[in-house]
Amino acid sequence: MDVTRRKTVTEIMRVLVNLLILIAMTIAVIVTMTLTTFLSAFIAAATTATVTAAAAAATTTTWGWIIVMLATLML
């Protein structure tokens, strides 16, 4: 009887540990996706600001305008 009870407790603990691992992995995925979204938005804003500044400086010449257009297309 004692051996059976010990096996049952072991199985319950195993299931609980698996559930904790699953919850931790789910939280990690959610945090990673949130951080990725914020970082990509920040990078996009920084890139846009840089391209805008470069375009303002470079469009004073025809070649500068062409280079800015090509760089914008490559983004």
CA-atom Rg of the chain in angstroms: 28
CA–CA separation, 4 vs 1, rounded Å?
5
18 in Cβ contact with 32 (< 8 Å): no
Among candidates 68, 67, 41, which has minimal Cα distance to 53?
68
pLDDT above 80 for 16: yes
68 in Cβ contact with 55 (< 8 Å): yes
What is the pLDDT at residue 35?
A: 82
The range of the structural domain enclosing residue 56 comes to 2-74
- Give the total number of structural domains in the chain: 1
Among candidates 7, 30, 29, 26, which has minimal Cα distance to 18?
26
pLDDT above 60 for 12: yes
pLDDT above 70 for 1: no
Q: What is the pTM for the complete model shown? A: 0.49
